[in-house]
Each structure stands twice: as structure tokens, then as C-alpha cells.
């Protein structure tokens, strides 16, 4: 038993600080306390209150109209803001600034930085993927990780490199854990990538993976059905030829599918040769 009368204030304060550091959060009473009985009383069911007379509901005309959930209003407002900001961008640099300032997409809060684009802004070929991964999020450029290295080898196989193409993603911020972007996230970022395509004004679009192909072409079919077949992408008063292809990240997981990717690359090379000729400086 500690004799508090024999201790000075400083010693008592030091003792209390030691108790707190050791995790002591309550003092013992003179009589023992049955904690198990207390827990049992808390867990015992409580009889519901006796029903009382209910007044009749107010007339229907007096009830306020139902309101939309706040999340829906927030989503609609963010989408409207995305369309407005994207349309105002006069060039790619201004679009980048507006996208960096856009706070409507929650992906921005978990990402390290914006991953806007790489390659040549005036390229005849624009490649659009799904979204940044961990390496892209760290460096700030699209397709720089293992999937990007495979993409570089794929381009080299048909005589292209990053200096001859422009590379972007539908979603410019990394989804947590590299998960697939949600339909809401894709819809919020769509006005910006559409404006990006409009400002680059390529002759050909290469859409890597299901998210890019389905979002930009407004398609529901899977990438295995879409890949290798030319589609029309309408961009203002222009129509751009778009070729869906398998994403390099998928090819790393399913290397046997590289034969299909090679056929799609040859389809792209054939279209380039038809339009520019094999010796054209524009793309070869």
C-alpha cells in the first residue's frame, strides 16, 4: 500500500506518469467489482417500449419531394466540371494544367502524381492505355514499367519507337493496388482524354486493353472480340481509325497470347504502309 501522505507532490506526479505509461487506466475500489456480471447486464436484451398511439401521417401534398443522394449530386457536378474544363483547354499544356487542378476524381487523392503523356505531341499514332501502375506513378510517365518495356519492344518490331508515337491513358492517376478503374472514374476522366485526342489529332488510335477500347469506342464486348478489328472513332468533324489491341500487362500474364498481339501489330503496320508508304519519315 502506498502512503500518499508521506510522498510529496512531485513524487506522486511521477508515480501517476509511470502508471499511465504502463497502461493503468483505472484505480481499484475497496470492494471487488465483478466485470463479468457487468458485461452480462450490458448484453441482456432490453424489452422494447410499449407501442404508443400513432398519429395519422401528414397529407401527401405536405411531404417534401425526395432529394437525390449527395453522392449522385457530387458525381454529376464533377462530371460537368470535367467537361467544362476539358473543353476550355486550347493546347496540350493547358489541358495538363487543368487536369492537374481537377479535384473531381478521387483517384487523385491516393496517387503520387499526375501521369499525363509521353512521346511526340504531333505524332500520327496515339496509343491509349488504361491507367498508370506503380512505376508510372513514381516516375510520372506512362508505360515505363515492365508493361512499358514490352510495349517498346512491340513498337520496335514494326519500326516504331516513342519518338514517333504519343502515349496516354484513359485514367491519368494510378488506381490503388493497380485495380481496374471503376465506371465512375472512367466517366470522370473521359472528357479529358477525348480532348487530348482532339488536340493531338492523330491519324490512328491504338487502344490497349478493355478499359481503353470499351470507354473510347462505347463498346460492351470484351477485348478478345474487339482486338484486331478497325473501328471508327469520331472526333469532332474527323473520323480516326482505331485499333483495339491486347494490353502489354495482359501479355506478361498470358505470354501465349503474344501471337495474337503480333498479328494486330502487323495489321497496324500494314495500315501505316498503305497511308504513308514504307519509306515515309512520318512514322517509319
* Residue at 36 is within a domain: no
CA-CA distance, 279 to 122, in Å (whole number)? 19
| Number of domains comprising the chain | 1
* Residue at 81 is within a domain: yes
The single residue listed with the C-alpha cell 497511308 is 275
* Residue at 119 is within a domain: yes
- Kindly report the pTM of this predicted structure: 0.74
- How high is the pLDDT of residue 20? 60
Domain containing residue 83: CATH number: 3.40.470.10
pLDDT band at 105 (very low <50, low <70, confident <90, very high): very high
* Residue at 244 is within a domain: yes
Return the percentage of the chain with pLDDT > 70, whole number: 75
pLDDT band at 68 (very low <50, low <70, confident <90, very high): very low
- The whole domain housing 214 covers 70-276
- How high is the pLDDT of residue 9? 75
* Residue at 39 is within a domain: no
Please report, for residues 145, 163, 170, 264, the alpha-carbon distance to residue 118 in angstroms, rounded to integers and kept in the order given. 13, 9, 14, 22
Q: Return the axis-axis angle of helices 70-88 and 183-200, rounded to nearest 10°.
A: 10
- As separate numbers, helices (DSSP H) first and strands (DSSP E) second, the chain gives 12, 6
Judge contact between 83 and 108, C-beta under 8 A: no
Average confidence (pLDDT) over 166-183: 96
Q: Which range has the worst mean pLDDT, 79-83, 220-224, 279-283?
A: 279-283
* Residue at 150 is within a domain: yes
- How high is the pLDDT of residue 216? 98
Average confidence (pLDDT) over 151-164: 96
φ/ψ of 24, rounded to 5, equals -75, 120
> How far from chain centre, in Å, is Cα 189?
9
pLDDT band at 11 (very low <50, low <70, confident <90, very high): confident
- How high is the pLDDT of residue 71? 47
DSSP 121-144: TT-SEEEEES---HHHHHHSSSS-
Residue 132 in grid coordinates: 498508370
* Residue at 232 is within a domain: yes
pLDDT digits (tens, 9 = 90+) for 216-267: 999 999 999 999 999 999 998 899 999 999 999 999 999 999 999 999 999 9
CB-CB neighbours of 85 under 10 Å: 20
Average confidence (pLDDT) over 175-188: 95
- How high is the pLDDT of residue 10? 76
pLDDT digits (tens, 9 = 90+) for 15-57: 777 666 555 555 655 566 665 565 556 555 555 555 555 555 5
* Residue at 178 is within a domain: yes
Return the percentage of the chain with pLDDT > 90, whole number: 69
Judge contact between 170 and 82, C-beta under 8 A: no
Amino acid at each position: 500500500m502506498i502512503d500518499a501522505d508521506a510522498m510529496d507532490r512531485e513524487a506522486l506526479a511521477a508515480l501517476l506518469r509511470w502508471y499511465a505509461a504502463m497502461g493503468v487506466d483505472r484505480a481499484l475500489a475497496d470492494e471487488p467489482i465483478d466485470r463479468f456480471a457487468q458485461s452480462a447486464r450490458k448484453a441482456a436484451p432490453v424489452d422494447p417500449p410499449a407501442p404508443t398511439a400513432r398519429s395519422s401521417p401528414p397529407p401527401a401534398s405536405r411531404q417534401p419531394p425526395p432529394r437525390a443522394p449527395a453522392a449522385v449530386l457530387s458525381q454529376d457536378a464533377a462530371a460537368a466540371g470535367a467537361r467544362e474544363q476539358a473543353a476550355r483547354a486550347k493546347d496540350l499544356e493547358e489541358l495538363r494544367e487543368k487536369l492537374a487542378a481537377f479535384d473531381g476524381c478521387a483517384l487523385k487523392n491516393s496517387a503520387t502524381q499526375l501521369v499525363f503523356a509521353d512521346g511526340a505531341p504531333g505524332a500520327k499514332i496515339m496509343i491509349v492505355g488504361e491507367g498508370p501502375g506503380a512505376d508510372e506513378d513514381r516516375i510520372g510517365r506512362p508505360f515505363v514499367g515492365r508493361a512499358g518495356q514490352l510495349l517498346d519492344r512491340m513498337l520496335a518490331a514494326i519500326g516504331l519507337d516513342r519518338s514517333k508515337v504519343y502515349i496516354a491513358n484513359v485514367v491519368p492517376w494510378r488506381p490503388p493496388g493497380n485495380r481496374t478503374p471503376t465506371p465512375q472514374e472512367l466517366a470522370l476522366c473521359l472528357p479529358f482524354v477525348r480532348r487530348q485526342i482532339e488536340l493531338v489529332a492523330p491519324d490512328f488510335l491504338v487502344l490497349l486493353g478493355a478499359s481503353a477500347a470499351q470507354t473510347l469506342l462505347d463498346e460492351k464486348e470484351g477485348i478478345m472480340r474487339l482486338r484486331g478489328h478497325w473501328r471508327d472513332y469520331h472526333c469532332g468533324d474527323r473520323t480516326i481509325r482505331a485499333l483495339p489491341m491486347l494490353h502489354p500487362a495482359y501479355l506478361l500474364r498470358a505470354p501465349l497470347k503474344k501471337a495474337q498481339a503480333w498479328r494486330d501489330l502487323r495489321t497496324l503496320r500494314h495500315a501505316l504502309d498503305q497511308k504513308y508508304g514504307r519509306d515515309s519519315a512520318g512514322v517509319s
